[in-house]
Structure 1
Amino acid sequence: MKNSIAERVSDFLKDFPPFNLLKEKPLLEIAEGVNIIYLEKGDVLYEKGDHYHDYFYIVRNGAVSLYHHAVEDNTKHMVNINDAGDVFGVRPLINKENYKLTAIANEESIVYGIPIDVFESVTNKNVKVYKYLITSFASNAYDPYTAEENTKIFVDYLPNTSQDIVNFQSANYTKNPICCKADASLQSAALQMSEHRIGCIIVVDDKKQPIGIITNSDIKNKIATGLFPITTAVKNIMSSPVISEKKNLTIADAQLKMIKHSIGHLCITEDGTPNSKLMGVLTNHDIIATLGNNPTAILKDIKRATRTKTLRAARRQANGLLKSYLEQNIPLTHIVNIISQINDAVTMKAIEIALEKMPTPPPVTFSWLALGSQGRKEQLLFSDQDNALIFEDVPKSKYEETQNYFLELAKLVNKSLNKVGFEYCEADMMAKNPAWCKSLSEWKNQFKDWILNTDEKAILLSSIFFDFNHIYGNQQLEKELTDSIYETLSRSSVFFRFLGRDALKNPSPLGFFKQFLVEQDGEHKDLFNIKYRALMPLIDAARLLILSKQVRGVNNTYERFEKLAELEPNNKELYESCAYAFKALLKFKTKQGILHNNSGKLIELETLTKEEKLKLKRCFKPLHDIQEALKLRFDLANF
């Protein structure tokens, strides 16, 4: 005889994680053992300190609140509200220990008690089910910042496809590479390369430590062209110092290292530095042979480009690479590094192409700065351009003429980037705008004015212009500007309070009963703005804190939080949680953007699964605490 009650229970469970990961038969077996519990408003399901039950729970109708009891006065503080489909009370399933929270019905509710013994037997160590319950357990814990639980909430999951395994396996390098001494003739070295049919030879000292490398390109560019005779010593044409790594590096790490240094060979040494014995060599060919789709080829296309059309094709190919990486659950840190390298390379080539179109070389040196998300190295999808240009100081009589030259150059670059796919900034925060194309002294004065004469406009522009990154030209100009900014910041404390107030302008993304706060009117009515509700509060907080610490050279938001965790061990868990939350939110926004072919910042909540909504809500947990920390640190309560 069919059990109609169990079938109704099963029909409900199948729509919610982790039960949606189970097949019909095991799900029905669980449903047959479910304990159906009716709760009036205020009824207690379990209390802190109670011996754990034989069930964990899922809300069928209504809502159940979880409370923490403060030790000092035993007052209750609401931690979470579980509504329909939310799983809670998972502690006995994971830790087999007494409850740390109290569960009270927030309204008239029906709760299903899932029998732990039956559940464990039918799931049979299902990895996806276990992973979900671990994160659910961690998200409902009172202290979301413990090291153990925090990593489970926001972890970049380990690879689980064949392509993932390739990316994260140890790189297979050539052991016992062919070597020569620094005083050997190039002719003898070339004969060894020909005999062994290899593309490089490593130059070593008496301790077999690598001091240089000679490749086919060196021979072509330095010998075949007549710059050096074939009899010259290898030390005269070798590339030095070598770039080295330890033997256990992954394919992904090796790939990134080669991209960063624009090289095709890595020396493998005992301790990863050139100051230890050579163990082998890893070539770009080794990686390309293993990886079918790789950023090295994209970067080569960009560097060889002579037209914007080629740049556009290469950058769109990078979008395909981004989608592939996200589908494979490649860690976001690696994805961000790769796409940032590609974005910067596209900008550099756009500038080089523009310079060739200019009637004369630049009258003085200049620095092209990326601002905003590209300046923070967080620009994964196509977005608006934000950039600026600094040129070397010139006499007043030459200023207008010099600025006009760079404005023309910037127009060409901005136009090229627009053709590639980066839209013009609606607020015109681009280098072609005279306001953002200035001499070094003018830029120093601009930042001094923003910092010392703070107003609403200055704070608005600070959110863009204080996240800059040198892309092309004379980097010393950017360094001098940075020195001036930090010297001025040391003379103004009120500026940080203005920045702090601005960082609090977007409150928690959730209402009191855990509902998402959506746009109330206009063309985006009922949509959830993940950029302004969730990402920007973290970006603003990280910027403020890192500036107040006078830390230079750390622009990326999650790297800023990680650096703050080093600087303030007492707040390490909070900062690390913010870093993990930011990465998870950025990955979610990027996936939404790819799915809907837009920026991903506006989300139609009805299109999300229950699991996706739960993941988002878990990411919001650190937002409230970091904003509370800013209020205290910068005395913002009455500011």
Structure 2
Amino acid sequence: MAVAGFSFPYRVDVLQRTRNFKDLEPDVLEALIESAKTYAVKAGQALFRAGEPFGNVVYILYAGHMRQRWQSGDEQDVPLGDVLALANYLDRAPHGSTAQAVTDCALLGLTSSALQHLERDHAALFNCLHHIIARKLRARNPARDVNRGALAQPVRHVMTTPIATCAPLLTLRDGLSMMQERRIGSLVVTGHDNKWIGLLTHASLAEAMLLHQAKPDDPILHAMQRPPAVEPETPLWQVQELQQQHKAKYVVVADQGMPIGMVSQTDILSTLITSPGTLLPHIGQAQSTRELAGLKARLAEEAAEIREANHWARSSVRFLSETHLAIQRRAIDLTLREMAPDRAPLPFAIFIMGSGGRKEMLLDPDQDNGLIIADDPKAHEPDVQAWFQHFGERLNLQLAEVGYRLCLGDIMVRNPQYRHTLAAWKQQIDAMVDRPTEE
């Protein structure tokens, strides 16, 4: 077992001589040492054992000889400077190996929260740690390349640039006005040296005013977030993992502290689903329901590829949902094309409910859709209603032919109960909110 509080003169130059940390600047290593606790493990004792729950601490071997043994029977020496339990920090799973001291060992230990703060404040350390985990994964399973395909490209290829910046003393009112005028969702806050110090978003502004009683004339400092930051050459798979760990929608791209771009979860998802070899480019070119059905049949195989390439289940579900929605949009286009020249008598919109509305569709979702007709005096005329009834019946049939099962509860466009004007939908939703039922 590890004994915390072990007294030992930890030095930056020792870490700099190790493979993992040789490229980090002294100030980054000093911050790492200052954030860590010290641990000692006596010869013959285990730091952790296979099957034990993750103890919320990541260890760095500083001195001594340690061996790591997996349940498969494989084992290897742990080099100085190696990071232990890093994979568990990423996925929170129980330990998959046993780390045992051959001689007395000294280690640095970082709690998950301390490591998250270090990664957030030091992009170079974030890159270093994720290079370590990639190297470990390739060593343990050479057949699996965790940084291949679309997610292997550097973030600079995907980031949004240029970005809007502001000073920290700008008022919340002016910050909101700037975002509204430019139709953007965030402002990067920069200091006097033009280095980024935070991020203002609609969400952080609302939280500051509603939960912390911030006033419109308070400076942006009262509402800004401190999201993670990465360097321009950071591969997208590392950015994605950082977003997952910190539950961050945005990541700032900075070059030596200077903000040069922004990347969101949506940016990465768009890169995945539009990359060469995915279905999306073919969906928009499909000319029949048979073609769409063939594309939908390939979803299972493609979802497995996406899952293997980026190893985040949530991203795979989002990918599936976005692809399902693209197929359904194309089915709508084909239905309208088949009904031409009998054009829609009024503007309308189709919306998806259930798992599709939540973007949680898996491989075989059924149909849950409704239709909103523009508010217009003609909306209730018999010929207008007849057109939308005919359209709904044909659309639901087309979707069924593509592979989307008809809803057993008939929650579909063809059902007049799910086909209303905008005003009627508002009234119905208000009634549901005012008088909720068990259903």
TM band (smaller chain): 0.3 to 0.5
User: Greater share of helix residues, 1 or 2?
Assistant: 1
Choose 1 or 2 for highest CA Rg. Answer: 1
Calculate the TM-score normalised by the size of structure 1: 0.33
